[in-house]
Amino acid sequence: MEQHSMKGRVALVTGGGRGIGRAICELLAAEGAAVAVNYRRDADAAAETVKAITDAGGKARAYCAAVEDVDAARAMVNSVIADFGFIDILVNNAGIGSKGRTVAETEPAEVERLLRVHAMAPHWLSAAVLPSMRTRPRGDIIMISSSATRRMRGNGAPYNMAKAAMDALALTLSNEERVNNVRVNIVAPGLVETDLGRKLAVAWGKSDIRDYDAESPYRHVVQPVDVARAVLFFCSSMGAYVSGERLYVDGGGPMESF
């Protein structure tokens, strides 16, 4: 599928060791990209992702950095460029969930942490990779947001606020960087079968995330590869004339119980 070829490109995927991030890393690598797999704590998971890619004949390396630490994030970008020569795809995927409390019950530290991880980290990572991207024939920045921005459910203000800020960053960057041949787009999944998704399902009253299958569009919750395919579309020649767009990967709408 030449229209999806990532040959000759280098992707940095934050939170790339597990879940959505791993699916994105593996799919981009399968299409020919060299992949920098960022992780914060789970070195084993990142190593497994790298091994899966290299065993399949691809190129990948793992990089430890807490993206909410601006110095660590910048140092990681410099290391990736030193190893691979450049970065022309950045996927801001690293994320954390909120504690499910009302605004009145939420601690200020939680709000700050969510904003740092989901919005501020993508801001300074994007700024760090842009000098390299601008030298390439094409650049792509993808924000992994959330379909939570459709409804803004209660008991999740820190998460909703952080993802909305991420979306604002993406749309602003798209306006700024199109002159430099950089495309910036948003992928916004629904409930995904990941570690975080499983925790959310329990917090919402289910014993298992698959209990939501029957009331989900197409009778299953979102799979990580569904999100990865949307990322591939935006980064491939199929999305060459697309920027400043948000693609919801939630089967066309929220689950029936939402």
Residue range 206-235, pLDDT digits in tens: 889 988 898 889 999 999 999 999 999 999
The more confidently predicted of residues 78 and 257 is 78
Residue 112's H or E segment, with its range, is: helix 108-115
Active site residue 159: yes
Confidence of residue 255 (pLDDT cuts 50, 70, 90): low
Residues 228 and 20: beta-carbon distance below 8 Å: yes
Q: Return the pLDDT at 205.
A: 78
Residue 120 lies inside a defined structural domain of this protein: yes
Q: Return the pLDDT at 200.
A: 78
CATH number of the domain that 38 lies in? Answer: 3.40.50.720
Residue 199 lies inside a defined structural domain of this protein: no
Q: Taking Cα atoms as reference points, which of 9, 238, 4, 213 lies closest to residue 129?
A: 9
Residue 219 lies inside a defined structural domain of this protein: no
Q: Return the pLDDT at 3.
A: 65
Residue 113 lies inside a defined structural domain of this protein: yes
The domain total for the chain is 1
Residue 254 lies inside a defined structural domain of this protein: no
Residue 254's H or E segment, with its range, is: none
Which is catalytic among the residues 63, 159, 212, 248? 159
Residue 237 lies inside a defined structural domain of this protein: yes
Q: Which amino acid is at 253?
A: G
Residue range 105-158, pLDDT digits in tens: 999 999 999 999 999 999 999 999 999 999 999 999 999 999 999 989 899 999
Residue range 37-47, pLDDT digits in tens: 999 999 999 99
Question: By residue range, what is the domain housing residue 17?
Answer: 2-192+224-245
Residue 234 lies inside a defined structural domain of this protein: yes
What does DSSP say about strands 34-39 and 10-13: parallel, antiparallel, or unpaired?
parallel
* Predicted TM-score (pTM) of this structure: 0.95
Q: Return the pLDDT at 257.
A: 45
